[in-house]
Amino acid sequence: MTKLLEVANLTVGYGEAIAIDDISFSVARGEFITFIGPNGAGKTTLLNSLMGVLQQTFGTVTFAGEDLKALKPEARVARGIVIVPERRELFPGLSVEDHLRLGAFLRRHEGRAKMAAALERIYTLLPKLKERRKQLAGTLSGGEQQMVAVGRALMAEPQLLMLDEPSTGLAPRITEEIFEAIDRLKAAGMTGILVEQNANLALSVAERGFVLEVGNVVASGEAEQLRKDPRVLAAYLGAGDRYREAMTDT
Amino acid sequence: MSDTILFLLVDGLTNGLVYALLALSLVLVFTVTRVVNIAQGEYVMLGALTLADLLQGRMPGTLYLLIGGLALCAILDVGRWRRDWRQASLYTGGLIVAGIVALALTRGALALHLPVIGMMVVALILVAPLGALIYRFTVHPIPNATTIVFVIISVGVSMSVQGLGLLIWGANPYPVDPIAAGGLMMGPVFIPYQSFAILVTALLAMGGLYVFSEFTLVGKALQASAMNRLGAQFCGIPVNATGALAFLLAAAFSAVSGMLLAPLITANYEMGFMVGLKGFVGGAMGGLIDYPLSLVGVMIVGGLESTSAYVASAYRDVLVFSLLIPILLWRNTRSRVEAR
Amino acid sequence: MSARAKLALAVSVILLAVPWVLPSFYVGIFAYAGIYALVAVGLVLLLQAGQISLGQGAFMGLGAYGSALVARAYGIDTLVTLVLSVSATALVAALIGFITLRLRGHYLPLATLAYGIALASVFTAWHEVTGGASGLDKIPPLSLFGFALTDDRLYTQLIWAITLLAVLGLSRLRTSRTGRAIATLEGHDGLAQAFGVDTTVLRVKVFVFSAVLAALAGALYVHLLRFVSPSPFSLLTSFKLLIMAVVGGPMSAAGGVLGALTLESAQWTLQDILARWGLSGNLEVIVFGVILVVMLLKWPQGLWPAVERFLPKPTLRSRAGEGLARTALTENRGEVLLRLEGIGIRFGGLQALEGIDMELKRGEFVGLIGPNGAGKTTLFSIISGLQRQTAGRVALFGEPLPTGHEIVRRGMARTFQHVQLIPEMSVIENVALGAYCRTDAGFLRGLFALDEQENRQALASARAALERVGLGAEADLAAGSLPLGKQRIVEIARALVADPQILLLDEPAAGLRFSEKLTLVKILRQLQAENVTILLVEHDMELVMGCVERLVVLDRGRIIAQGSPKDVQANPAVISAYLGGGRDKAA
């Protein structure tokens, strides 16, 4: 399998702090990998830096052989890197269908028939969106907004789909629907990076995973293995030993 | 008595519609770029005086402003040549072509002695791009500056453009022909054809903007970048270009309003300021973000203005501006509730 | 006398001597520069408080017309009319301020524009009294105790003397208790409230003061010219003043003077040069406009910061001796300090929190944790008074939780998730803000330097707090220059200066490296040993488990577990909440 995305020595600063500390990984075409870890681990920062949104980014990111270096987010979308952001970043005054059409903004010259076909595909994948196609995004529920964000990203026909904590704030049933959609995308050959706080959910979809803790990868491997790895639990709930030792000195 | 009221209504409506185009421009610019454009009135002046020149058979000074601006644009982009010379040469080439086209168009229009409407189109083509150029020089370099810096910068732009206007056209007023002279009697009131022209243009402009925003993808993209810049970037929408487009459209609307207004009042280098201020008051009633409310605002301004025969003009100003404060308070509370 | 003070004195002497050195034509220009500078200095204070005003010209007009008309009509001594006029303007400003200062964002400048024009229009409209657009002459000159000031040079000296005094007073204010509070008004509303600043009242005070300076300038103008008309007080003047303030540099009062001098001299020099080259005067305006745009693109912070780099540093205010008295914290471990009963909050259709019952006892070190979206931040903001719950009660020391700026006076201080330090202010001054609720020197005392002892005590307390947390050496560095870890500790020092019984910490470890977190934990343990009660919200589990006594775990708006770290770590409900439920179908 060819490597679609190669990340080498990625370090991202955030003001004075270091949010991502020298991470390297790659994603092959057709693969779905995941980054899990507790809040504040740097997962969202990772995806935002891959989208070109952040300033203090160091290291090399190569996509389909091209160094992404200083490319603006719009240019990355044009190359097929698309994100479903953590906060969804929707347009409250525009309708569901508007969002989907705008997702295909860069493909608007391909003609009406192609646009209609693309819309149909999304509506088949996420039927709830078809029911609410004319509804304004600002009036949708959290789960529906998440679906709009996913649908909008898919309309760009991405080569690499990045999902930032898709299950946040959603009821279990809606989360189920969204992850079923992700399953179907995977089956169709989509390459993806999934960032999630819900470790079990993430590891049920991805093939490979990385555990992030305050900007560092503390464990990685095949999804099956990671599920049973005690380091995952430790990353989330901590053991407290490092600090306890330090404090007995005082 | 009812005759006078009717007359006042028509007069107020006409005034209001002209200022409406200006308010529209201000709201468009603010919603897409967050810039409070104090200099918006200057495009009114540029539109009117460019048209005056064309109608008198002269090459308008605006053409040289445009060419100068395009040249400055090319110079500012010199840095790009080192990074990507192919793109840079395309860009510079495009600017040069634009300049040549403008020149040719103006020459052609003058030679053909086009009617008023034709000359208006040419004047529009000369003035509207100036808006995009101003965006490029003043907003594009510092997109994250604070509101107040943009306010001061737009004051600087206003001063420079007004000064340039004085330089190019001098202090004298210029006559501008209406689209069609004369008018007709509707009942007891005489309505000049120009007023119909104003009505039609204003409606077309507002309608056009509405159709553009609601029914074209680019129009939606403009709305999107105003509502959520980051979200728009994630769709691949070039947010810098949308800013320039907003400025260009705003300049176009303002220029048209100037061209329509000029036959009714004197057209000189100072006219931009007063018209700009009135449109501003109307726009401010909508908090600079609400189109329908700003239209209501300009109607109020226009209506109050036409009562100048009955109320001393200065007190009328006091009234209009004092009215603005409770409206702003009301809008402020509403937007805070909506934000929650 | 410090180097800087000597420099300031020298510059002042020069400025006061200038009227005697200039040819008489230029004396007038210099006088106007001084008048504009006086208004600009007040406008700079407004800008520091985050308020843009396009109405200063109107306040100038009120001061001018008030004094001129009364003196002309009734022959009253002009010193008296000046004082009366300025006072009247202050009242009008207070009224306008209370109405409009609640406006936020771009609405406020629009409102200032509105009343600026409205007031200026009254000058023209009420022509029976004001003489309308053509104005009134025969305005009596300024007379100080019987001595009529008709000598332009002397008058100009007076103007500049007043302006320089204003700069002195405002520079003094900046390093005082009120000055520190004013620095929080722009963009740090939550910070201001959390340390006891009544932001509405302070904003009005700042607004009234700048109106007073404008009115004074207007009155001085009109008694110099001996003629009053509406045109100098128009919107254009307000714009000009704003430009002076922004170009000069809104960071410091001296910026106002710099801006006024720069703009006025630029204008006249430009006219001169262009006339010499035989070019028309119109070009001046164009060049001016272009220069303005270019200057702001290059120096969005104004000229003063660029100038200040070459000046000697200002003297630091004394922080010697004893700090403010501290309350001794008892060891009564059973006492309940904070009680939450049935707390719930609803946003639209979403029930973000429900049925929260918890207690905070004296001397406890409690951690509030939960997965993302659990409602920790919301609960924390209810406890710290930023949000109101829709159900249930919060009791602090047995009484209902007060709102906003009263909380810190009851003994509860906090730090912030996103560090809220004023980056340009020194560390010790940032920390001294914590003493705001324990001191009372107001605006005037700060202006007239009548607060020396109290200020010294506040700074001494700040110094002591910094030493307590190990940052004594960094006291005079700019807060923005410290690394994030130290900034967070400065926030803790600031909270300590408020002499709290309860310390609320909002994600204090976010973004810190391990060594910094270690320092943090040591400080927290130390505080706990001194009987400070601590409530902590945090995501770093390692850290929380390692130093906290008791945990409260939230998930989806409810408490799912409470207990010691060991118990909570083993609790299956907690594990499932963090790792997430799996999926019913096989992957």
Cα C461 to its chain centre, rounded Å, is 21
pLDDT, tens digit, 9 for 90 and up, residues C293-326: 888 888 877 888 888 888 888 888 888 888 888 8
Phi-psi region of C464 (alpha: psi -120 to 50; beta: other; left: phi over 0): alpha
- Would you call C350 an interface residue with chain B, using a CB distance cutoff of 8 Å? no
E strands, C182-247, where? Answer: none
Q: Which of B146, B158, B160 has the alpha carbon at shortest distance from B35?
A: B146
Rounded distance, CA A69 to CA B205, Å? 43
Looking at A110, A136, A157, the residue that finishes a domain is A157
Mutation target vs A (from B235, B237, B242; most A CBs, 10 A cutoff): B235
Asked if A75 and A173 sit in the same domain, the reply is yes
CA A197 distance to own-chain centroid: 12
Tell me what pLDDT residue A16 has: 64
Most confident of the following: B303-312, C97-106, C294-303, C462-471? C462-471
Q: Residues of chain C with pLDDT > 90: what percent?
A: 46
The Cα–Cα gap between C18 and C27 comes to: 8
Task: List residues bridging with A81 in a β-sheet.
Answer: A160
Which amino acid is located at B50 in the chain? T
Read off the pLDDT of each residue in A83-112 and give the average, rounded to a whole number. Answer: 93
**Residue appearing with tokens 């529920």:** A141
- Exposed, middle or buried, B193 (CB in 10 Å: 0-12/13-18/19+)? middle
The reply to whether C299 touches chain B by the CB within 8 Å rule is: no
| CA dist., res. C338 & res. C344, Å (int) | 16
Nearest to C498 by CA among C368, C384, C336, C341: C384
Please check whether residues A163 and A145 belong to one and the same domain: no
Q: Are residues A179 and A243 in the same domain?
A: yes
Q: Label residue B320 by pLDDT band (50, 70, 90).
A: confident
Q: Both A96 and A152 in a single domain?
A: yes
Query: Quick check: C30 and C22 in contact, CB under 8 A?
Result: yes
CA atoms A99, A105, A111, A117: torsion sign: negative
User: What is the rounded average pLDDT of the residues C335-339?
Assistant: 90
Q: Taking each helix axis as running N to C, give the angle between helix B239-261 and helix B116-138, from 0 to 180 degrees, rounded to the nearest 10.
A: 140
Residue count of chain A, please give it: 250
Instruction: Compute the distance between CA of residue C437 and CA of residue A94 in angstroms, rounded to an integer.
Output: 47
Residue C373: pLDDT over 80: no
Q: Are A7 and A74 in the same domain?
A: yes
Same domain, A64 and A93: no
Name the percent of chain C lying above pLDDT 70: 98
Higher pLDDT, B57 or A241: B57
The secondary structure element, H or E, covering residue C43 is helix C24-48
Stated length of chain C: 587
Q: What is the CA radius of gyration of chain C?
A: 29
> What is the per-residue pLDDT across B115-155, written as a single tens digit (0 to 9) for each?
888 899 999 999 999 999 999 999 888 877 777 788 888 88
Helix axes C235-248, C56-74, angle to 10 degrees: 120
pLDDT (tens digit, 9 = 90+) per residue, C394-405? 999 989 998 888
C409: closest CA among C559, C584, C193? C193
Predicted pLDDT of residue A24: 93
- Beta-strand (E) ranges in B251-331? none
What is the spatial distance between Cα B261 and Cα C278, in angstroms, rounded to a whole number?
36
Contact C289 B163 (CB under 8 A): yes
Q: How many separate domains does chain A show?
A: 2
Burial of C177 from C-beta contacts in 10 A (0-12 / 13-18 / 19+)? buried
DSSP A57: E
- Are C158 and C25 within 8 A, CB to CB? no
Q: Of C411, C436, C36, C9, which is closest to residue C233 (Cα–Cα)?
A: C36
Domain boundary among A157, A181, A209: A157
Could you tell me if A109 and A163 lie in one domain? no
Mean pLDDT of C67-92: 92
Are A166 and A241 members of one domain?
yes
CB-based contact B162:B272 (threshold 8 Å): yes
Chain C neighbours (≥3 Cβ pairs under 8 A) are A, B
What residue of C is the nearest CA neighbor of B285?
C110
Q: How far is C29 from C272, CA to CA, in rounded Å? A: 14
The total number of residues written for chain B in this structure: 340
pLDDT value of residue A245: 64
Task: Indicate which of A16, A45, A140 best probes the interface with C, i.e. most C CBs within 10 Å of its own CB.
Answer: A16
Q: Note whether B337 contacts C: Cβ–Cβ < 8 A.
A: no
What DSSP string describes C102-159? Answer: T--TTHHHHHHHHHHHHHHHHHHH-HHHH-GGG-B--PPPPEETTEE---HHHHHHHH
What amino acid occupies position A29?
Answer: R
pLDDT tens digits, C184-223? 998 898 899 999 999 999 999 999 999 999 999 999 999 9
How much of chain B is in helix, strand and coil states, percent to nearest 5? 80, 5, 20
Closest chain A residue to B233, measured at CA:
A74
Task: Test B231 with A89 for CB contact under 8 angstroms.
Answer: yes
CA distance C113 to B155: 14
Cα-only R_g, chain A: 19
**Chain B residues 307-336 within an 8 A CB cutoff of chain C:** 312, 314-315, 317-318, 321-322, 324-325, 328-329, 331-332, 336
Asked whether residue C63 carries a pLDDT value surpassing 90, the answer given is yes
Question: C430 is written with which tokens?
Answer: 């940032």
A16-42 pLDDT tens trace? 677 888 999 999 999 999 999 877 778
- How far, in Å, CA of A116 to CA of A51, rounded? 28
| pLDDT value of residue A118 | 93
Domain boundary among A131, A157, A183: A157
Closest CA to B339 of A49, C305, A138, C277: A138
- Please tell me the predicted confidence (pLDDT) of residue B131: 96
Backbone angles phi, psi at A10, to 5 degrees: -75, 125
Q: Which has more confidence, B42 or B198?
A: B42
> Residue A117 and residue B249: Cα distance in Å, rounded?
33
Question: Following DSSP, what letter does each residue of C381-417 receive, concatenated?
Answer: HHHTTSS--SEEEEEETTEEPPPGGGHHHHTEEE--S
- Chain C positions touching B162 (Cβ under 8 A) are 285
Average of per-residue pLDDT values in chain A: 87
Q: Mean pLDDT across the stretch C436-456?
A: 90
Please tell me what DSSP assigns to residue C418.
S
State residue A247's pLDDT score: 58
With cut-offs at 50, 70 and 90, classify the pLDDT of residue C581.
Answer: low
Task: Summarize pLDDT for A116-140 with one digit per residue, the tens.
Answer: 999 999 999 888 899 999 999 988 8
Do residues A210 and A42 make contact, with C-beta atoms less than 8 angstroms apart?
no
Name the pLDDT band for C586 (thresholds 50, 70, 90). very low
Q: Same domain for A55 and A66?
A: yes
**CA A60 centroid distance within chain:** 19
Q: Which of A237, A247, A248 to mutate to test the interface with C (most CBs of C within 10 A)?
A: A237
Q: What is the mean pLDDT of residues C99-107?
A: 82
Looking at residue A250, its pLDDT comes to: 44
Mean per-residue pLDDT, C515-523: 88
Whole domain around residue A110: which residue ranges?
A: 88-157
Q: What CATH number labels C336-579?
A: 3.40.50.300
Q: Which residues 6+ apart lie within 8 Å of B157 measured at CB?
A: B38, B39, B42, B134, B138, C289, C293
Helix %, strand %, coil % of chain C (to 5): 60, 10, 30
State the best of C62, C282, C283 to mutate against chain B, taking most chain B CBs within 10 Å: C282
The alpha carbon torsion through B292, B297, B302, B303 (nearest 10 deg) reads 100
Inter-CA distances, A30 with A33, A38, A190, A205, Å = 10, 27, 5, 13
Instruction: Kindly state whether residues A64 and A179 are assigned to the same domain.
Output: yes
CATH number of residue A56's parent domain: 3.40.50.300
Residues A165, A76 within the same domain: yes
Q: How confident is the model at residue B340 (pLDDT cuts 50, 70, 90)?
A: very low
Cβ distance of A74 and B233 shorter than 8 Å:
yes
Domain ranges of chain C: 3-234, 336-579
* Contacts with C471 (C-beta within 8 Å, 6 or more apart), sequence order: C427, C486, C489, C490, C493
Same domain, A14 and A46: yes
Asked if pLDDT for residue A149 goes beyond 60, the answer is yes
* CA C402 – CA C408 distance, rounded (Å): 10
DSSP 3-state helix, strand, coil percentages of chain A (rounded to 5)? 45, 25, 30
Q: Is A169 on the interface with B (CB under 8 A)?
A: no
**Of A176, A233, A243, which has the smallest distance from its Cβ to C547's Cβ?**
A243
- In chain A, the residue whose alpha carbon lies closest to the alpha carbon of B230 is A89
Q: Would an 8 Å CB–CB cutoff place C545 in contact with chain B? A: no
Least reliable range by pLDDT among A79-93, C19-33, C312-326: C312-326
Inspect the interface and report whether the beta carbons of A98 and B228 lie closer than 8 Å.
Answer: no
Please give the backbone phi and psi of residue C510, each rounded to the nearest 5 degrees, phi first: -60, 125
Contacts of B238 in chain A (CB under 8 A): 74
Grade residue A240 by pLDDT with cuts at 50, 70 and 90. low
What's the pTM? 0.84
Mean pLDDT of chain B: 85
Find the residue in B nearest to A104 (Cα): B235
- Segment B89-95 shows an average pLDDT of 87
Identify residues of C whose CB sits under 8 angstroms from chain A CBs.
371-373, 482-485, 487, 507, 510-514, 517-518, 521-522, 525-526, 539-547, 565, 569, 574-575, 578-584, 587
- The rounded distance, in Å, linking the Cα atoms of B331 and C515 is 50
Q: How many helices (H) and strands (E) does chain A have?
A: 11, 10
Residue A91 — very low, low, confident or very high, per pLDDT cuts 50/70/90? very high
Residue B313 has pLDDT above 80, yes or no: no
Q: Which residue has the higher pLDDT, C181 or B323?
A: C181
The interface predicted TM-score (ipTM) is 0.89
In angstroms, the Cα distances linking A93 to A119, B299, C214, C440 are 20, 26, 44, 48
- Tokens representing B311? 């109320």
Res. C422: pLDDT tops 80: yes
pLDDT given at position C181: 95
Mean pLDDT estimate for chain C: 88
Tokens 């803000």 belong to residue = C433
Question: For chain A, where are the alpha helices, taking DSSP H only?
Answer: 43-50, 73-78, 96-103, 112-125, 127-131, 142-155, 172-187, 199-205, 223-228, 230-237, 241-248
Interface contact C245, partner B, CB < 8 A: no
A111 touches chain B (CB under 8 A): no
Q: What percent of chain A has pLDDT over 70?
A: 94
Return the pLDDT at B219.
Answer: 92
Query: What's the pLDDT at C148?
Result: 85
Mark yes or no for CB contact C288/B159 under 8 Å. Answer: yes
CA dist., res. C420 & res. C408, Å (int): 16
Evaluate if residue B261 carries a pLDDT over 70: yes
pLDDT in tens, A192-217: 999 988 888 899 899 999 998 878 88
pLDDT attached to residue C281: 60
Cβ C219 vs Cβ C159: under 8 Å: no
